[in-house]
C-alpha cells in the first residue's frame, strides 16, 4: 500500500471548516484513500473513503485531486468534539485489508 504524508498538527476555530491535507504521490490505480479519526482514549473511527471521485457523507467531504496524488478531508463546521487525530490511509485490493497507520494529523478545534 502507498505511503501517506500528513502535517503533524493543525488548529481550527469552532464553527469554521477544517481542511486536512494528505499526500499520497505513489498511489496506484486500484488503491482507495481512507480516512479514520481517533478521539482521545477511543478506538479509531471510520470517516470516509474514495477512489477518484469526490465523496461526501454526513461526517465529512473528501476531495481527491485529478492525478490522485493528494487529497483533502473537509469537516465543514468543526466542533470541539472533532478534536482528534486524523489518519489518511491508502489501501489496495487483494490483500487481508490490514490498515497501515502513519502518525496522522492532530486537529485541535478551539472555541
Partner 1 sequence: GAGVSQSPRYKVAKRGQDVALRCDPISGHVSLFWYQQALGQGPEFLTYFQNEAQLDKSGLPSDRFFAERPEGSVSTLKIQRTQQEDSAVYLCASSSRLAGGSAKNNEQFFGPGTRLTVL
Q: Which is nearer to partner 1, 70 or 105 (CB)?
A: 105
CB 88 within 8 A of CB 2: no
The cell numbers describing 73, all together, are 478531508
Query: In whole angstroms, what is the distance from residue 36 CA to residue 66 CA?
Result: 22
Of the candidate spans 11-19, 57-65, 75-83, 96-104, the one that interacts with partner 1 by CB under 8 A turns out to be 96-104
Query: How far separated are the first and last CA of the chain, in Å rounded?
Result: 37
Residue choice 19, 21, 44, 72 for contact with partner 1 (CB under 8 A): 44
The footprint of partner 1 (CB under 8 A) covers 30-32, 34, 41-46, 49, 51, 85, 87, 91-104
Amino acid at each position: 500500500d502507498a505511503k501517506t504524508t500528513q502535517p503533524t498538527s493543525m488548529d481550527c476555530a469552532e464553527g469554521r471548516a477544517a481542511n486536512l491535507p494528505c499526500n499520497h504521490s505513489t498511489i496506484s490505480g486500484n488503491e482507495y484513500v481512507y480516512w479514520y479519526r481517533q478521539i482521545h482514549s477511543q478506538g479509531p473511527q471510520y470517516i470516509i473513503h474514495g477512489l477518484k471521485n469526490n465523496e461526501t457523507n454526513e461526517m465529512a467531504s473528501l476531495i481527491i485531486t485529478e492525478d490522485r496524488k493528494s487529497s483533502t478531508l473537509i469537516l465543514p463546521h468543526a466542533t470541539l468534539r472533532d478534536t482528534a487525530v486524523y489518519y489518511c490511509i491508502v489501501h489496495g485490493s487483494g490483500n487481508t485489508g490490514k490498515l497501515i497507520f502513519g502518525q496522522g494529523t492532530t486537529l485541535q478545534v478551539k472555541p
